[in-house]
């Protein structure tokens, strides 16, 4: 605005308006802190985590099929911690890279470590049990491929707050867009933390080991 131009008229605030400024500002700050805290606690892979952290917000019962064609549910995993990752076998890079990182972390824990990992497909229309079995054979034997009906896969994805979306390609081809969170769950099926996989395998294993 030109220094010589007249300033627009701003009517003075009423006493009632002035009294509202501080409460509204405090409310806005509280909401901002609430959102930031929720994100850090549940989805920030660098947060420290704890045995009960986010347990009511992430995870829950499921009933699906493993890569051997057998029923698998959350109750089958009770008694030992487990890892969950959502992806699909046609994934060109992120899924195989993440599963390799999970494998390296499991290997760093040692063969005696009582822990399992689930690779849950978000593309059950293509990822049958047989296809998943062949796919996960490339990784640590404690990784189990999991599939099921579209409805049951969607229900588990919602419980874990995992995102997925079908992306059309040429003709009948398509790919899947999906979240890449690696969930660490405790022996009771409660959420511990989202693992930061951008670290050496020994560091990831050190984070998991206290929960074995």
Tens digits of per-residue pLDDT, 140-185?
999 999 999 999 999 999 999 999 999 999 999 999 999 999 999 9
In this predicted structure, the answer to whether residue 191 has a pLDDT above a threshold of 60 is yes
By C-alpha distance, which of 187, 183, 100, 107 is closest to 135?
A: 100
Q: Which residue has the higher pLDDT, 35 or 107?
A: 107
Architecture of domain 63-211: 3-Layer(aba) Sandwich (3.40)
pTM of the model: 0.75
- Domain-by-domain residue ranges, the chain? 13-42, 63-211
pLDDT of 66 strictly over 60: yes
User: How many CB atoms sit inside 10 A of residue 39's CB?
Assistant: 11
Which DSSP symbol is given to 82? E
Name the phi and psi angles at 111, rounded to 5.
Answer: -65, -20
Task: Give the single-character DSSP code of 2.
Answer: -
> With bands split at pLDDT 50, 70 and 90, how would you rate the model's confidence at 57?
confident
**Burial (CB count within 10 angstroms: exposed 0-12, middle 13-18, buried 19+), residue 118:** buried
Task: Please report where in the chains the tokens 């470590």 appear, as a residue.
Answer: 113
C-alpha triplet 84, 88, 91: angle, nearest 5°: 120
Neighbours of 138 (CB within 10 A): 11
- Position 32 scores a pLDDT of 39
Q: Is the pLDDT of residue 3 over 60?
A: no
Query: Tens of pLDDT along 78-111?
Result: 999 999 999 999 999 999 999 999 999 999 999 9
């Amino acid at each position: 605005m030109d220094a010589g131009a007249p300033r627009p008229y701003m009517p003075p605030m009423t006493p009632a308006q002035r009294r509202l400024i501080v409460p509204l500002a405090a409310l806005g700050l509280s909401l901002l802190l609430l959102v930031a805290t929720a994100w850090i606690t549940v989805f920030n892979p660098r947060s420290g985590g704890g045995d009960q952290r986010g347990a009511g917000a992430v995870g829950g019962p499921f009933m699906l099929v493993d890569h051997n064609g057998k029923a698998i549910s959350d109750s089958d995993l009770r008694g030992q911690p487990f890892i969950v990752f959502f992806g699909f076998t046609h994934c060109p890079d992120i899924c195989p890279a993440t599963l390799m990182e999970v494998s390296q972390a499991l290997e760093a824990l040692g063969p005696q470590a009582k822990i399992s990992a689930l690779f849950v497909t978000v593309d059950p229309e293509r990822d049958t049990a047989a296809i998943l079995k062949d796919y996960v054979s490339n990784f640590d034997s404690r990784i189990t491929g999991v599939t099921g009906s579209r409805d049951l896969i969607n229900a588990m994805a919602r419980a874990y707050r995992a995102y997925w979306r079908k992306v059309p390609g040429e003709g009948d081809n398509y790919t899947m867009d999906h979240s890449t969170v690696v969930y660490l769950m405790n022996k009771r099926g409660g959420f511990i933390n989202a693992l930061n996989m951008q670290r050496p395998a020994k560091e990831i294993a050190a984070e998991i080991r206290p929960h074995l």
